[in-house]
Structure 1
């Protein structure tokens, strides 16, 4: 195998120093997209060990069509192998064990066991699915076949695992996460749907990353999110045949040629199609797209939309406004933190009954518009909702728990972007998840048939789009992070809300302490891996991560809160250190010595 950066052939590189001693450079750094790997064809008379090792390395390359990798296969195996259909991700590159030569005394075939620790799969729709690390056991079968000139024999692979099998480092070097965007069913705002595309040209489709991303959007949402979202693109819409490259013009406009399925779309539908594209392409740092123009099958312009116009479809509006975190101070009052300056400012008092201290508070949540807050009283029994912009008397509790112990009562609440309020009652006698429409309506019991099965909701956070919910759940000795899909229906004029298709978001963590949303499809999670120390790290909602996702070390974290925008600090409750902040490019800094339960709006 050969790895390269530009025209320089090395085992891994980013820049070439012009002085100093020559040093060894190790390749396949986790997520290092600067490294290019080129496949090497099998040499003449290669033994079966070389054939297997060469093929395993060739799978990690950018070789167009995986043509070189196919040279290690028999003709039949090369025709049937579909590397684009799936990816199996292991903690490290697969281990190739020696073959059992005694199984074939006549020396015509070899079987090589492959082993490793499986941590995820990626399906044909580019969806990443993590799994709790588990043994991976497969095999590669090698046979002797006549050479092309018929004068001898050569070893080739005729049986192999499906798709690609990659170590995590090679996977992150070759693939990157992007968010596709679809509209929440029946709503006018978009929902992020993370998938993985190639960092560079796709070996199979020959498409550049921009074109791959557009193609993935047109293929529709991933199977997990599909029941909760809609695409405004007509069914069957694809890129015009033969399009493999999409580039912007000097006005940063991206023209996207579509097939005839899009020719008859109306103005409003086209605007929403363009909005899906703009949100999706906003994740690609390699291209700056200020507006998109959709074109029909005859290159006719269907519509144009700019980023400013697309903002009306965002689940969080007014994103230019500063986001402010809030917390409960040592007098159990609601206070606001000012975290944007270089120096930590004194907390600001909040208007309304939560800021007076007349009702001591245990936990809080502030709505996305920062006009109302929900708070659980100090005893954990009652949930209140009140204005935080005007002075008013405290209204009666909207919900109460009957649990005997305070820690078995109400969890910290959470607002979604629709203005609905969520809270869990952890009463062992009657565990229940509640949704309060608009924060003031009659509480709705959320359908969670699994909740009574020795499961307890420790905390929850609902996404801004209201389609997904993150739950910290204890079952037995383990506390895990689960992501569920929210389904809303109306039956007999009454709302019916269910949580469906839960999946693990941090399967490699043995214990999860706290979670916060940190944008459209990213979470900040506090937890501990088996045998490890507590970490604060970023995770995608599909459970994927990277080497750069771990935040600087912080001890004794009990809660964490992240903003919707990257430019605002993360805040956390770190026990003895009080409430601290982490601004981009800095280390943790103290904000308030005494205080608990920091939250950003949501």
Structure 2
């Protein structure tokens, strides 16, 4: 985004935020997980055991890995498992490698131990998680005899943690940046050691900027700002004293404050209010109290759920409301267009359902295999584009536009009232054919299912908007262990819901996974018939799934019919307006 565009977005957002300070947020902030490169000096966590006399090489390596889970500064116990020279040179601050808990240390020959495990992922010095590859983690440790005891001579720099130790010691916390319209904060998950230093670590990461994966798609109002002193916490209130570059206007400061409040008022941090000072003095922003909560910045809610955005699905080519199964207004609610998939945008200014787009495989005016239609929610839909195929349309909550992938590789964006525009996706064609493409609620990320030789695979990319072009970059696999993915939706701004094959159950089941690939979890299937084929999800909404040609919703830990006490309703292609 250009500097002029950033300034314009910040100025516009400041006006919106200050005008909306007295309203109540529509949903609570999203919570996620984190890591910090250097544990706090007073951290309390796992107490490792020192080496026992006469320990075998395998026991020494196992003890060293266990001691990596300590939160004590410099990991003094872990260094006791190292030779004298290695203990002096080993760096424990070069990130973290996370491996499965069922690893195997095996002595291949005298003085060497081979460790093999599943690599879960790695966390860099900024706390950014990268999902592991499908290859097995393998590391050979060399040991030497020092005064009759085996000690490691070549430890890998950084920490080597078992997954159970990692999840027990670290927390995921989102640092928030802004989408290019300034409408919402965008989560950027970080992993931080649990402890009193977390609030300061969060602010430092905000000041250092977004992670590379999302950096080109967001705006950082705190760019160039600095901490004048460590973030202070008294009770459940934090005080952040910042200095801004000369000439920074109130509009930028205002947006930065909202960004800070959303980042610091998360459940893991235990903070109820945040006070931001500028050069030691109160900000004095009109309509904003000295001590603030996210309720003072409702316009930034990353998971705002428009009240009119009820679920929809299709029956016999016509659009239906999931709330009661009745047809939507206008011709789209009938079978006039023979729709096979659809999407509806929500006007970010009014909250009303607006631009509607649908794909038809029977009604192309040119006789093509598929056609894209678009128009108002309650009005006529007009033909827009033909193709061999289109993915189900998708919308985001920050702009009135619809996206789809034409012919498996060509990403198309349709603004309200405009003509279809090509979106550059330079790496998509090389990965395969896209069968599903879903924008995140903030419009900064895209989840893509790409067909491969062993079924669909899940990728996430970043939407980058420049002055003269829009692109989808950095498509990366975030759940390489999950195969046969058939659909994906956004549970919230930082969490995906996925339908994929379960080899053990020989069926398709729902999972959730973080936007960075961490925390793959199978979703309960109580009450759900066999072989789910499509799903829909949205912030603050009950997920919808199509199974055996009928539509089901997740409520209270079980899957139930759309109308309580009534038989299942037939339907396909569910979605939530965004």
Contact 2:337 2:360 in 1 (8 A): yes
Residue 195 in structure 1 maps to residue 190 in structure 2: yes
Out of 299, 305, 310, the position equivalent to 1:324 is 310
Instruction: Return 5+ residue gaps in structure 1 as ranges.
Output: 1-30, 102-109, 146-151, 202-206, 339-345, 404-408
* Pairs within 5 Å for 1:218-229: 218-229=207-218
Q: For this pair of structures, how many residues does the alignment match?
A: 510
Q: Does 1:552 align with 2:561?
A: no
Cα distance in structure 2, aligned partners of 1:60 and 1:90 = 12
Flag the structure with more relative contact order, 1 or 2, with Cα contacts below 8 A and sequence separation at least 6: 2
**C-alpha deviation, 1:437, in angstroms:** 1.9
Greater Cα shift, 132-141 or 512-521: 132-141
**In 1, Cα distance between the equivalents of 2:135 and 2:392?**
34
2:373 matched to which residue of 1? 384
Separation in structure 1 between the aligned mates of residue 504 and residue 317 of structure 2, nearest angstrom: 36
Find the counterpart in structure 1 of residue 299 from structure 2.
312
In the alignment, does 2:554 pair up with 1:582? yes
C-alpha contact (below 8 Å) 1:91/1:118 kept by paired residues: yes
Aligned to 1:184: 179
Q: What is the alpha-carbon distance in structure 1 between the residues aligned to residue 56 and residue 570 of structure 2?
A: 68
Q: Which runs of 5+ in 2 are unaligned?
A: 1-32, 34-43, 285-289, 363-368, 563-567
- Distance (whole Å) between structure 1 residues aligned to residue 91 and residue 246 of structure 2: 33
Partner of 1:432: 410
Question: Which of 54, 71, 78 is equivalent to 2:63?
Answer: 54
The Cα RMSD (Å) is: 2.8
Q: Quick one: distance in 2 between partners of 1:234 and 1:216?
A: 11
Of 418, 421, 431, the match for 2:399: 418
Deviation at 1:573, TM superposition (A): 0.5
Query: How many angstroms apart in 2 are the aligned matches of 1:539 and 1:247?
Result: 35
Give the alignment of 1:138-537 within 5 angstroms. 138-145=139-146, 154-185=149-180, 187-198=182-193, 200-201=194-195, 207-235=196-224, 237-238=226-227, 240-241=229-230, 246-249=233-236, 253-258=237-242, 260=243, 265-289=248-272, 291-296=273-278, 299-302=280-283, 304=290, 305-314=292-301, 317=304, 319=305, 321=307, 323-329=309-315, 331-338=316-323, 346-368=324-346, 369=351, 370-379=353-362, 381-388=370-377, 390=378, 392=379, 394-401=380-387, 403=388, 409-416=389-396, 417-426=398-407, 431-438=409-416, 440-453=417-430, 455-491=432-468, 496-528=469-501, 533=506, 534-537=508-511
Gap change, CA 1:301 and 1:76, over 3 Å in 2 = farther
Aligned to 1:594: 570
SS in structure 2 at match of 1:210? helix
> Which has the higher Rg, Structure 1 or Structure 2?
1
CA gap 1:217/1:530 in 2 versus in 1, 3 angstroms:
farther
Corresponding residue for 1:539? 513
Measure, in 1, the Cα distance between the counterparts of 2:142 and 2:234.
43
Partner of 2:26: none
Q: Separation in 2 of the partners of 1:453 and 1:215? A: 37
Relative to structure 1, the CA distance from residue 75 to residue 218 in structure 2 (aligned partners, 3 Å threshold; closer, same or farther) is farther
Asked whether the equivalents of residues 318 and 332 of structure 2 are also in contact (C-alpha less than 8 Å), the reply is yes
2:431, 2:450 within 8 Å by CA — same for their partners in 1? no
Paired with 2:65 and 2:357, the residues of 1 have a C-alpha distance of 55
The 5 A counterparts of 1:42-81 are: 42-44=51-53, 46=55, 48-81=57-90
Residue 140 of structure 1: SS of its match in structure 2? strand
